[in-house]
Amino acid sequence: MSQIFVNTLISASFFIVIGLALSLIYRAVKFFDMSLAGIFVAGPYCMLFFYNSLCIPLFFALIFSCLLSSIIYYVIYFAIYKRFEHNAHSPLSLLLASFGIYIILQNVISIIFGDRIMTIRNIHIQEGILLGGAMLTPIQLIAILYSIIFVFIVLIIMHKTKYGLCLRTIGENFPLAQSLGVSVKKTIVITYLTVGIFVSLLGIIYAYDVDIVPTMGMNIIMMGIIVMIIGGNGIMKIIIAGIILSLAINLGAWYIGSEWKEVIAFAILLFYLLMQPRASHKAVN
């Protein structure tokens, strides 16, 4: 059971960060941006290029990879989503467009780097840490610590900064935000650049643990969407939803089989939606 607990913390750390990142984007633009899965993948491949191919020092390779991924994410917004805003497209149209962008990013990465599994690790494999009978690798511990730091950063930004106040106002009442003189465009730009940096760094951490493949982004983004739907826009609710989803998946994997992880996740989402008919109907409308 101790290993289940550790595995729950590891996967929950990824679910929570992605769920919070999607929540920030949703507050700004009011749709689930599936192209974030491409940014999650772009970070590790940028790292592969800068660190493994160009042999740039690790610290600078991390910075360049996160900045480049963040810029790519902003370019996607500026070149595509911003045009959709002017034409007043529905959230469903934007969702489908974002999924198409993810497919394009995934295939561009496949063309450049290939479809085979690759690694950005060029260091010796380190021995795992034994915690109460459970094994935890150093990179998995970093993932857990990273999620904790990210949560605190989001809490501080959302409740202690002018930007956070602007983003919360836009998310809760867009017409009111405009009438109050909130700089909507500036807030959206900051949101995309910030989320791009944090998600690409999360992707790099993930890649150091399990290696990389162009298709690895969709599964983690779907888990983040489930966490966000269940948790809503509340930061603490998203954290709780991420832990619950992670615990259910890991219990299922332990007692039933790892191939049932996605089935369990979507069964939980379906159960939640069935138990919340009014909220679901309101969200669809």
Say whether pLDDT at 178 is over 90. no
Task: Give the residue-averaged pLDDT of 19-30.
Answer: 93
Say whether pLDDT at 282 is over 50. no
- Please say whether the beta carbons of 29 and 94 come within 8 A: yes
Question: Which of 120, 138, 119 is CA-nearest to residue 128?
Answer: 138
Say whether pLDDT at 280 is over 50. no
User: Domains of the chain (ranges plus CATH)?
Assistant: 2-115+138-284 (1.10.3470)
Say whether pLDDT at 131 is over 80. no
Question: Which of 71, 234, 268 is CA-nearest to residue 151?
Answer: 234
pLDDT given at position 181 = 80
Tell me the pLDDT tens digit for each residue of 54-91: 989 989 999 999 999 999 999 999 998 888 766 666 77
Question: Measured between alpha carbons, how far is 62 from 43 in angstroms, rounded to an integer?
Answer: 9
pLDDT given at position 163 = 92
| pLDDT-based confidence at residue 126 (cuts at 50, 70, 90) | low
